[in-house]
Structure 1
Amino acid sequence: MPIIAPSLLASNFLNLQAECNMLNQSQADWFHLDVMDGRFVPNISFGLPIIEHIRKATNKVCDVHLMIQEPEKYAEERL
């Protein structure tokens, strides 16, 4: 069975709470979060402080796509 994981990178960042609410009410299985460090790839995403707020806004699984050069620097952080 396929897993539906819409990317929050496609969200309207001015209405991120509303976007999270909409996904919570949808049939989406997971939230997909893209994390970029600006070195491995250009940084057009959000960082850990925003992800912490997103985690508080949902009980769904957050699938995190790390596009960063030194993931070990973030291994202790909870995404």
Structure 2
Amino acid sequence: MSNLNPDEMAAYEASLKIARDNYSHDETIRKEGELKGKLEGKLEEKRETPIKLISINIPIEKIDEITGLPIEEIEKL
């Protein structure tokens, strides 16, 4: 790098900045995807319990009390 002239150094630094920006962008997207996947998994888990309770004929009011889900949401399941 010490042999680069000022224009070459500026071009090199600009390419480094672009590479770092791209890496940062990709990491942000990856982390957002992981978080979204975890949240979707949690929502799916949250739906499984009331479905199981419905299948064994537990009253909706009790399911609401146990899970904290609104009755309207439970009725949709």
TM-score by length of 1: 0.27
Tell me which of the two structures has the higher relative contact order, counting C-alpha pairs closer than 8 angstroms and 6 or more residues apart.
1
Task: Flag the structure with higher helix content.
Answer: 2
Query: Looking at CA atoms only, which structure, 1 or 2, has the larger radius of gyration?
Result: 2
TM-score by length of 2: 0.28
